[in-house]
């Protein structure tokens, strides 16, 4: 351990010496190779310590900026490296292209943050502030990149037994999100100019560092692993699910052919869906656990099903199964019931909602048309929920009660 710490100290000294040479007028291109060797094995924390030491030793901030520029330039070369030969529709091609575009956004934000700091006041920095907010908007939209990895790519990797790398990448996603939230917060509530400018500079630099480190791992470790393990059918299924989540940065080319269905194998005694299989016991348990009352009326206006939730709001008995829905309502309500059904059947309405007070509780009642994949009308779903306590919720709750 002491040898490892000593090696890191030596590397920090080498990096500091190279920066002093830059300060004395050396051409960045002349020290690039030496710098590339010197930073191998250094962590973002090591880099931060070097910057702190140089500032304490009296190095001007603009010279520290030279170090940051060279550091990120070298790291970016490593991230982009050689790309695998993939068609433009391929999920990995899309993710790597989004990596490139996000790095460009982060670099641009860092450049704009520098201009804001140099402007000296909010008034002088007005144009740059507007540009920073536009970049932040694009960074927000890039969230779909991470959602596709977490909800599509990672689960497919896990099916092949690759579990730890996705878990680590997900943790890094959350750290990136924290840094981006700090940037958004600074831009939305700038406060004192000097504090704001420093925060924006610090967070934009950190985002650059995180991007190059994280994207390098994905481009050079995670994606090659997936390319080695996934079948052509799995890549096509992955792309289809990517389409469902949506994209950021650019609109990728469509797949040349329709993706073959990669469904769930039918198992005796199981109820099969496009997104999984359940036993009858599991399905019934799920429906009865839902924190809402549901009732389904088929396309012939016949009551076919209701769940048995723990705290049912309106009484339902098995005697209503097979009964016409009009017979389940008082005469004064039948016209409204028929109008809702007719609107649903003819596509004029997608929801009908009501709310009433019962015993001091606020009850929310909604009706939805149920359709199959072809859009054909199958019936009506009634969903009833007590929203009294939900309406009282404020702020955030992130911890589990003991």
Look at residue 144 in the predicted model and tell me its pLDDT: 94
What distances in angstroms separate CA 160 from CA 186, 219, 225, 228, 368, one per listed residue? 42, 19, 10, 11, 39
Cβ-based neighbours of 193, under 8 Å, separated by 6 or more: 120, 121, 122, 125
User: Is pTM beyond 0.75 here?
Assistant: no
For residue 272, what is the enclosing H or E element? strand 270-273
- CA 44 from chain center: how many Å? 24
Q: What are residue 85's phi and psi, to 5 degrees?
A: -80, 105
Look at residue 297 in the predicted model and tell me its pLDDT: 95
Look at residue 67 in the predicted model and tell me its pLDDT: 60
For residue 73, what is the enclosing H or E element? helix 61-80
Range 279-392: architecture per CATH: 2-Layer Sandwich (3.30)
CA distance 398 to 192: 30
How many CA atoms lie within 13 Å of 370's alpha carbon, on the beta-carbon side?
Answer: 15
Pinpoint the alpha helices (H) of 120-255. 126-141, 143-148, 154-159, 164-188, 193-217, 223-229, 232-245
- Measured over the CA atoms of residue 133, residue 137, residue 138 and residue 142, the dihedral's sign is positive
Look at residue 1 in the predicted model and tell me its pLDDT: 40
Do 2-245 and 279-392 share a fold?
no
- Measured over the CA atoms of residue 209, residue 213, residue 215 and residue 219, the dihedral's sign is positive
- The CB-based long-range contact list for 163-166 (8 Å cut-off, 24+ gap) reads 165/221, 165/222, 165/225, 166/222
Look at residue 263 in the predicted model and tell me its pLDDT: 46
Domain regions of the chain by residue span: 2-245, 279-392
Q: What is the mean pLDDT of each run of 10 residues along the chain (402 residues)?
A: 53 73 72 70 60 70 60 58 83 95 94 92 93 94 94 92 88 94 93 92 91 87 91 93 90 76 57 84 92 94 91 78 80 88 94 92 95 92 94 87 70
CATH no., domain 2-245: 1.20.120.520
3-state secondary structure of 359: coil
């Amino acid at each position: 351990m002491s040898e490892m710490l000593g090696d890191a100290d030596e590397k920090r000294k080498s990096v500091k010496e190279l920066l002093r040479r830059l300060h004395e007028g050396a051409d960045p291109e002349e020290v690039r190779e030496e710098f590339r060797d010197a930073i191998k094995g250094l962590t973002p924390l090591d880099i931060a310590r070097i910057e702190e030491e140089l500032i304490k030793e009296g190095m001007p901030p603009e010279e520290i900026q030279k170090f940051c520029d060279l550091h990120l330039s070298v790291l970016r070369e490593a991230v982009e490296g050689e790309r695998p030969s993939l068609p433009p529709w391929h999920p990995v091609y899309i993710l790597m292209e989004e990596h490139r575009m996000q790095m460009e956004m982060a670099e641009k934000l860092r450049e704009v943050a520098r201009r804001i700091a140099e402007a000296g006041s909010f008034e002088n920095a007005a144009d740059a502030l507007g540009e920073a907010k536009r970049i932040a908007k694009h960074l927000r939209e890039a969230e779909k990149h991470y959602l596709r990895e977490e909800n599509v790519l990672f689960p497919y990797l896990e099916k092949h037994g690759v579990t730890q790398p996705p878990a680590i990448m997900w943790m890094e996603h959350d750290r990136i999100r924290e840094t981006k939230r700090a940037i958004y917060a600074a831009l939305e509530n700038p406060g004192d100019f000097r504090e704001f400018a420093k925060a924006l500079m610090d967070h934009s630099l950190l985002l650059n560092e995180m991007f190059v480190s994280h994207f390098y791992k994905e481009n050079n470790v995670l994606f090659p692993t997936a390319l080695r393990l996934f079948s052509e059918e799995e890549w096509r299924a992955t792309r289809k699910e990517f389409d469902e989540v949506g994209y950021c940065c650019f609109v990728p080319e469509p797949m040349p052919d329709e993706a073959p269905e990669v469904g769930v194998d039918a198992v005796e005694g199981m109820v099969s869906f496009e997104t999984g299989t359940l036993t009858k016991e599991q399905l019934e348990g799920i429906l009865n656990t839902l924190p809402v009352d549901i009732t389904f009326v088929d396309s012939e206006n016949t009551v076919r099903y209701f769940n048995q939730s723990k705290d049912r709001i309106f009484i339902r008995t098995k005697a209503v199964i097979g009964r016409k829905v009009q017979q389940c309502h008082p005469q004064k309500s039948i016209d409204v019931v028929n109008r809702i059904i007719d609107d649903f059947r003819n596509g004029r309405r997608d929801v009908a909602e009501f709310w009433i007070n019962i015993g001091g509780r606020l009850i929310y009642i909604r009706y939805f048309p149920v359709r199959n994949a072809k859009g054909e009308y199958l019936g009506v779903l009634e969903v009833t929920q007590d929203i009294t306590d939900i309406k009282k919720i404020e702020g955030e709750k992130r911890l589990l009660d003991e």
